[in-house]
């Protein structure tokens, strides 16, 4: 058994994702998704994303920490019960929090502004299914590189599923870059099935869904 497993068995705790985790979550996001649009927006913008998400009534998640160092994230998962409501909230009453770091970033790189419009339109671009299911959306899952492969990602997904079941949500969607083979293997192992493909930021994306009603 690896020392990582021992670490998880004895010293790991999962707690709700809070605004105070934002700086670390932003850092893990930058490391975990190099080259993605959100990472391109920079740590300051991502920090606001992770500050605001837990404050939203439709945002939630879990942080994995060593209880001895509760402010240092080993990993986290973030989710929303409604992508549309979340993006609307972020683009309206929470916009003042985003405006300063976003404007600074757009001045440095104006092309990012156009892609930001796509992000706001994401709920419209996102394929919808007409099967009557209202899924939660897994927005991001990130584990510190040095502890990947030790089962932490699995724990985070299970915690998310349990929380969704507690909220009577029957499915979880996740959008993943088509090029991210490792993440797709990970999702399939956890019961996610490929649904469809679409394009976001000019990149092919795959939508996966886990049916959690029957588990």
The residues binding ligand COA (CB under 6 A) are 32-33, 140-143, 148-154, 176, 180, 182-183, 185-186, 189
CB-closest chain residue to ligand COA: 153
Q: Position of tokens 């209880």? A: 67
Backbone angles phi, psi at 175, to 5 degrees: -105, 130
Q: Where are the alpha helices (DSSP H) in the chain?
A: 3-11, 22-32, 37-41, 43-52, 83-91, 95-108, 111-120, 122-125, 152-166, 181-189
As measured in angstroms, the least distance from the Cβ of 180 to ligand COA is 5
Q: Give whichever of 72 and 99 is closer to ligand COA, judged by the CB atom.
A: 72
Q: Give whichever of 58 and 157 is closer to ligand COA, judged by the CB atom.
A: 157
As measured in angstroms, the least distance from the Cβ of 183 to ligand COA is 4
SS3 percent helix, strand, coil of the chain, rounded to 5, is: 50, 25, 25
As measured in angstroms, the least distance from the Cβ of 56 to ligand COA is 19
- Residues in the chain, how many? 215
Q: Give the SS3 label for residue 136.
A: strand
Q: Give whichever of 106 and 122 is closer to ligand COA, judged by the CB atom.
A: 122
Q: Give whichever of 35 and 202 is closer to ligand COA, judged by the CB atom.
A: 35
As measured in angstroms, the least distance from the Cβ of 75 to ligand COA is 6
Q: Give whichever of 53 and 142 is closer to ligand COA, judged by the CB atom.
A: 142
First-to-last C-alpha distance (Å) of the chain: 28
As measured in angstroms, the least distance from the Cβ of 7 to ligand COA is 12
């Amino acid at each position: 058994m690896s020392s990582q497993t021992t670490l998880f068995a004895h010293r790991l705790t999962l707690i709700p994702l809070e605004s105070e985790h934002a700086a670390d979550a932003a850092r893990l996001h930058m490391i975990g998704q190099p080259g993605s649009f959100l990472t391109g927006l920079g740590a300051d913008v991502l920090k606001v994303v992770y500050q605001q998400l837990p404050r939203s009534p439709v945002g939630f998640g879990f942080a994995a920490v060593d209880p001895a160092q509760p402010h240092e994230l080993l990993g986290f998962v973030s989710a929303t019960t409604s992508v549309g409501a979340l993006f609307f909230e972020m683009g309206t009453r929470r916009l003042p929090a985003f405006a300063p770091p976003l404007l600074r970033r757009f001045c440095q790189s104006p092309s990012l502004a156009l892609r930001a419009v796509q992000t706001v339109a994401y709920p419209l671009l996102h394929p919808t299914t007409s099967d009557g299911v209202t899924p939660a959306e897994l927005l991001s899952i990130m584990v510190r590189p040095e502890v990947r492969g030790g089962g932490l990602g699995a724990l985070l997904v299970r915690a998310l599923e349990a929380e969704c079941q507690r909220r009577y949500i029957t499915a979880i969607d996740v959008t993943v870059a088509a090029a991210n083979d490792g993440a797709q293997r990970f999702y399939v192992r956890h019961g996610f099935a490929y649904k469809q493909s679409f394009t976001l930021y000019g990149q092919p994306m795959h939508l996966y869904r886990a049916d959690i009603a029957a588990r």
